[in-house]
Chain A
Amino acid sequence: MSLMTMIIKMSEGLGKTCAIFFLTLLFSLPLGMIVALLRMSRVRIVSAITRAVITVLRGTPLMLQLLAVTYGPYYLFGATVARNKLIPVVIAFSINYAAYFAEIYRGGIESIPIGQYEAAEVLGYTKLLTFLRIILPQVIKRIMPSVTNEVVTLVKDTSMAFTVSYQEMFTIGKQIANSQTSFLPFIVAGVFYYLFNVIVDYVMGRIEKRLDYYK
């Protein structure tokens, strides 16, 4: 098989790689905020449970979580394994990344001085408006570097979908590597991920720059 054929075959899986990437961001970014707020809840039991869940999600391999979400229902209830693996893959990724984003959000929220809340309160901002208009924009600016880190990691993590044989780019590459006993597909995959992350870096850099109008 020529290099060109490999590249073409593997790029056919890029759509699915992108699907994992974008859908995971779509769900995990807001879900992370909910988790962060639960984690900071003043109701002790709520924050304790959330904290425990985060510990598990961060403390066990994503690959394991991927297998658990995909095949767990089958082993536990004899449910049929989803034909479209995208669903369990995105669920596992979203939950896992939400745990990481939650901790990033929490760090950001806790870094905003209490005086900002007080100033807003005295000026008659409601709690919700204070959060949305005063706190959140400042949090987003502060956490951008950490979020970029996670997004870059996510690009590479999509490759883990091969463990449940979801036909994304890396899975196809691995199959070609096996059938052709060649290392070349892995190099192609590496180049794909790198280029993907060059774009991610550029986009995140642009966003950071747009938030650069104040200190």
Chain B
Amino acid sequence: MAEEKTSTPGPSILGIRSLRKSFGELAVLTDISLSVDRGNVVSIIGPSGSGKSTLLRCASFLERADGGDILYDGQYALRDGVYAPKTELNRFRTKFGLVFQNFQLFPHYSVMRNICEAPILHGTDREEARERALTLMRKMGLEGKENAYPYQLSGGQQQRVAIARALAMKPEILYFDEPTSALDPELTGEVLKVIRQLAEEKMTMVVVTHEMPFAKAVSNHVIFMAGGVIVEQGDPLAVFEDPKEERTKQFLRVFER
């Protein structure tokens, strides 16, 4: 899977420096800096309202940041609060994929069309796009579902279609915005399983999640956010077993039961 496109080789695909974002008076992100290296899985955890999702949405250009830098492959998408021209942003957009909490599949498209329309629009040969979609569906455990419509699928299946749809664009980095939060508890496992599988294949990913055991087991870097800042980050074992900050300890205590 995670086949890399020819582009400037560099250790970090995504770089974020001093990122700021407010909604009106409310500062949602203040001075966020992080970088994501190729092949790494970064989990972002933290209480709701801490700015985790906003951070992902800024990284995927769905929200406009107010200040700071966003770099893809060392190139500026946002430099000191100023965005690169539209055509540049479109080019950066091909580097990432995003999986939404509520799937956001296109309800009027079959599973197949959901997955392969965007690649076809971007110039992929129709047959090749279909082939790739079938391969991805097999991988996601969705064999035989190509003609199904989203409403005919379970939440877990829909989310796996959404993951396949994002992967069909061959992103270099994949973002997950609470991918299991809209699922019934018995369905989260199947989605986490495919994400874990992607991690094993060295797909670069950033996962905003409330699934602590998953974050601990799958990621190689954990970021704990609260109140719009990164409170603590590091190796998952360090953050989960031996948190340095009081807020991290407090947050993690809730999950110990």
Contact = CB atoms under 8 A, between A and B. Distances in A.
B29 to A, nearest CB: 18
Given A118-B104, A137-B108, A138-B107, A214 B149 contact: yes
Interface in A57-76: none
A115 B100 contact: yes
A214 B108 CA distance: 6
Interface string A103-121: 0000000000101101111
Given A118-B104, A214-B107, A124 B62 contact: no
Contacts, number: 55
A125 B97 CA distance: 13
B118 A125 contact: yes
A137 B106 CA distance: 10
Contact of B104 (A115, A129, A137, A138): A115
Interface string A129-148: 10001100110010000000
A119 B149 CA distance: 17
Contacts of B107: 138, 214-215
Interface size class of A (residues with CB under 8 A): 20 to 34
A123 interface: yes
B151 A118 contact: no
A143 to B, nearest CB: 14
* Interface-central residue, B108, B122, B150, by most chain A CB under 10 Å: B108
Q: Is the interface of A mostly helix, strand, loop or mixed?
A: helix
A213 interface: yes
B142 to A, nearest CB: 17
B118 A215 contact: no
- From A120, A123, A137, name the one whose CB has the most chain B CB atoms within 10 angstroms: A123
A61 to B, nearest CB: 38
Contacts of B93: 121-122, 124
A215 to B, nearest CB: 4
A124 B122 contact: yes
B154 interface: no
A170 B73 CA distance: 72
Contact of A122 (B98, B121, B122): B98
Interface of A: 113, 115-116, 118-125, 129, 133-134, 137-138, 141, 213-215
Interface of B: 60-62, 90, 93-94, 96-98, 100, 102, 104-108, 117-118, 121-122, 149-151, 165-166, 169
The 9 A-B pairs at the shortest CB distance, nearest first, are namely A119-B104, A123-B118, A215-B151, A115-B104, A214-B149, A122-B98, A137-B108, A214-B108, A214-B107
